[in-house]
Amino acid sequence: MMFKNVFGSGFIVRTAHVILTWVITLILFLHDTDLRKQEERGELIQPVLFVLLVLVSVLLYFAVSLMDPGFVLSDGSDLQFTLGITEETQDMIPPTTKSLRQRRCGHCLLQQPMRSKHCQTCQHCVRRYDHHCPWIENCVGERNHRWFVLYLAVQLLVLLWGLHMAWSGFTTAPTWQLWLRGNGVLLGTAAVVAVLSLTVLLLLGSHLYLVSLNTTTWEFMSRHRISYLKHCGADENPFDRGALRNLWGFFCGWGAIVWEQVYFREGNDPI
């Protein structure tokens, strides 16, 4: 199932996000910003583009929030069949000095594919688990991670544009009291947008950095406790194929990857 129930536990979070987004947009149009001035002059290109970009960000938010992040819903044998991996294919994996014990989740009782982790909030194991994001009230994993990064990029563009528009709407006044009375709402809006911009910028930067290394937030923070990483050197990442190939595979690659094969390749070309 690609999408989860819209009216699940994240309904309040998603509703609050959408309301905040459109309230900020409305404030930018109601005050004397460049958006409103262009609208009054009949110059509709930028106002329409801004609204469309806000709409795209909201749609991406819902897509990432409601999308199946890569839940492990069947045992390892069924998953291998789904990915087209037969016993004959498994026998082709080259011998290696690395050892790895197959893990079975203590909660789902399902065999965990490599790079999977059980999420206590979602009550599922998630393939290529990155983290559980309370902002979208969903896990970020194999199936929605790239869309999450795309959402962050679009959201950052919207926020920076909105911050610029808010700045353009401030008016002058003879005293601070009068200035705050005339610009108080816009000042509060600009402060909220500035904080959100910084947050999204840090999130986007950290995710792009981790993606360029082909590692996840969970692996980066907890590698000393992860069975397939804790025996590797401090600078060794068995999934790293170089920054460009990592980024290309993340954004342009489609289909599930058998990480066990990448892990055991020992210098061979990844399968």
For every one of its 271 residues, what pLDDT tens digit does the chain have, with 9 covering 90 and above? Answer: 445 555 556 788 999 999 999 999 999 999 999 999 999 999 999 999 999 999 999 999 999 999 999 999 887 544 444 444 444 434 444 444 455 556 788 888 888 899 999 999 988 999 999 999 999 999 999 999 999 999 999 999 999 999 999 999 999 888 899 999 989 999 999 999 999 999 999 999 999 999 999 999 999 999 889 888 888 877 889 999 999 999 999 999 887 788 888 887 754 444 3
Q: Length of the chain, please?
A: 271
Phi-psi region of 122 (alpha: psi -120 to 50; beta: other; left: phi over 0): alpha
Residue type present at position 79 = L
| Annotated domain spans of the chain | 11-260
Which pair of structure tokens corresponds to residue 136? 């979208």
Collect all residues with Cβ–Cβ distance below 8 Å to 255 and sequence separation of at least 6: none
Collect all residues with Cβ–Cβ distance below 8 Å to 31 and sequence separation of at least 6: 166, 169, 185, 186
Which H or E run includes 140?
A: strand 138-140
pTM over 0.75: yes
State phi, psi for 83 to the nearest 5 degrees: -85, 0
Which H or E run includes 124?
A: strand 124-126
Which pair of structure tokens corresponds to residue 190? 């600009």
Which candidate in 119, 133, 139, 232 is catalytic?
133
Give Dmax over CA atoms of the chain in angstroms.
81
For 132, the 3-state DSSP assignment is strand
Could you tell me whether strands 124-126 and 117-119 are parallel, antiparallel, or unpaired per DSSP bridges? antiparallel
105 an active-site residue?
no
Which pair of structure tokens corresponds to residue 152? 């962050």
